[in-house]
Amino acid sequence: MASTINMEIIWRNSYRFTISVEPSKSDNSQYNAFITMHNDGVKVGSLVINCNKNEKMLFPTVEAAFAKAEEYIDSRTWE
């Protein structure tokens, strides 16, 4: 099973977002995406990308998981 893959995105106003994608524990052919937020080097929050039923959303590929997490970050104002 593959390990967690991290990609860091530097954002404006001193926010840093790290997207982590890892194989799903319930279906190892699918992936889950997580976002950790830092402001001025201090962790200020983290979240998992969920579907409408408040369950972890499953993605068929690592690329799809990263794309959805990036879409979530892009759809918010972090000021």
Q: For 49-73, how does the pLDDT look when each residue is reduced to its tens digit (9 = 90+)?
A: 888 777 889 999 999 999 998 888 8
| Helix, strand, coil distribution of the chain in percent, nearest 5 | 15, 45, 40
Kind of pairing, strands 5-10 and 42-48?
unpaired
Would you list the domain boundaries of the chain? 5-74
**79 confidence band (pLDDT: 50, 70, 90):** low
Q: Is the CB of residue 66 less than 8 Å from the CB of residue 20? A: no
Judge residue 12's burial from the number of C-beta atoms within 10 Å of its C-beta, 0-12 exposed, 13-18 middle, 19 or more buried. exposed
Whole-structure pTM value: 0.79
Which tens digit of pLDDT belongs to each residue from 29-49? Answer: 999 999 999 998 899 999 888
**Going edge to edge, which strands form the sheet with 31-39?**
5-10, 15-23, 31-39, 42-48
